Amino acid sequence: MSKKSFRVVILPGDGIGPEVVAEATKVLEVVAAASTDIELKLEAHDFGGCAIDKHGLPLPESTLKACQEADAILMGSIGGPKWGVNSKVRPEQGLLSLRKALGLYANIRPANFASDSLVDNSPLKASIAQGVNIIVVRELIGGVYFGQRKEAGVAPQEDTAWDTMIYNVAEIQRITRVAAQIALAADPPLAIHSIDKANVLATSRLWRKVVTETLQAEYPQLSLDHHLVDSASMFIVANPRKLNGVVLTENLFGDILSDESSVIPGSLGLLPSASLAGAPSVADYRSESFKATPGLYEPIHGSAPDIAGQGVANPIGTILSAAMLLRYSLGLDKPATAIETAVRKVLDNQDKGGEGFRTADLGGTVKTKEMGEKIVEVLKGLL
């Protein structure tokens, strides 16, 4: 049988980006080497601050073209003090252009404990935080961030500024379908918690109606409830398990709730994210009709200039991003789960049969490379 071939573009970026991406790349190579029916073609491209230094702009034409032709993209992190707010061209502009060019309207951020042995690192500690498994699905290219606005100091009403929040049915339907596919990709399927402010906002009332109708018509097997955003943000601190499942929400609320929920597991270095231009590819990748869902995968942390070059960054957020890439863009659920299991075993305390490995952000002394190598070693036994 001929192997199914996928193109994965790697954007190491700046700061700790290249260090954490190197470890995630090893993980992807091990997955490909162990498979008899898939081939991963990995190619690195310049993006972000390093691309500004080399090409004068953060998203060179050649990088954009490679991303547009790829099945999925794995990114490290971009930016740093060298290309600060006063620079003419900034790395972050490249990321906004890339998201827009690829139509990445769905942002997915799981907030869970890669291992329950990490619960002591959580600001919410064991009693409240243990067993949290929240995946935030945020609409990324609509709503108030993209509506018309007027700045203050501009005629006719100089003392007035406004922003407009707009959503239409199609935008809400497509993000609802992404949330549903993510809920279904888990076994058993996850509950959906839709978040809005329907007691005040017209967009929220449309949101609630369309989410309800779409799920009833297309995914009646999924459980759905609705929360107001103020009460949801309270639950995330008071009792996050109440929101276990997929938290589906629009752009502004999702921005706030995804940051709030990402502190539960205790370190920025642990968490992955995905931005998708379609519902996840849950169909069988071996079928002729299978088409990868293009997506950009990255850890939620930034380029961490304070620790760059020291080899101490936690690579787990990037390694788990590679797992999401396999599951959501390439339809490869088994190796994705194997990566997550390997990460958990390496983090689990020794009394739970794990390795108890901790990088500096988790209070340990394990280096970036050691962490990556240990995960690869455990993963090889699982594939």
Rounded to whole angstroms, how far apart are CA atoms 243 and 112? 12
Kindly state the smallest distance separating residue 119's Cβ from ligand ATP, in Å: 18
Q: Which of 46, 196, 255, 361 is catalytic?
A: 255
Stretch that binds ligand ATP, among 152-160, 166-174, 215-223, 301-309 (CB under 6 A): 301-309
- Phi and psi of 179, rounded to 5°? -60, -40
Residue 307: name its binding partner from Mg ion, ligand ATP, none (Cβ under 5 to 8 Å by kind).
Answer: ligand ATP
Nearer to ligand ATP by C-beta: 147 or 364? Answer: 364
| AA identity, residue 97 | S
Please name the helix (run of DSSP H) or strand (run of DSSP E) that holds residue 12, with its range, or none: strand 4-13
259 is catalytic: yes
3-state secondary structure of 73: strand
User: Which amino acid appears at position 371 of this protein?
Assistant: M
Q: How many residues bind Mg ion (CB under 5 A)?
A: 1
Separation between Cα atoms, residue 193 and residue 210, nearest integer Å:
14
Q: Which stretch binds ligand ATP (CB under 6 A): 137-145, 174-182, 240-248, 313-321?
A: 313-321
- Strand ranges, E, within 113-252: 133-139, 149-150, 162-163, 192-196, 224-228, 245-249
Binding residues among 341-370 for ligand ATP as defined by CB under 6 A: 361
The site map against ligand ATP for 270-289 (x = CB under 6 A) is --------------------
- Report the DSSP pairing between strands 272-276 and 245-249: unpaired
Of 288, 306, 351, 353, which one interacts with ligand ATP (CB under 6 A)?
306
Query: What number of chain residues touch ligand ATP (CB under 6 A)?
Result: 15
Bridge partners of 86, per DSSP, are none
Distance of CA 337 to the CA centre of its chain: 16
Query: Residue numbers of the site for Mg ion (CB under 5 A)?
Result: 302
Q: Provide the annotated active-site residues.
A: 145, 197, 230, 255, 259
Residues interacting with ligand ATP, by CB under 6 A? 16, 20, 79, 268-269, 301-304, 306-307, 313-314, 317, 361
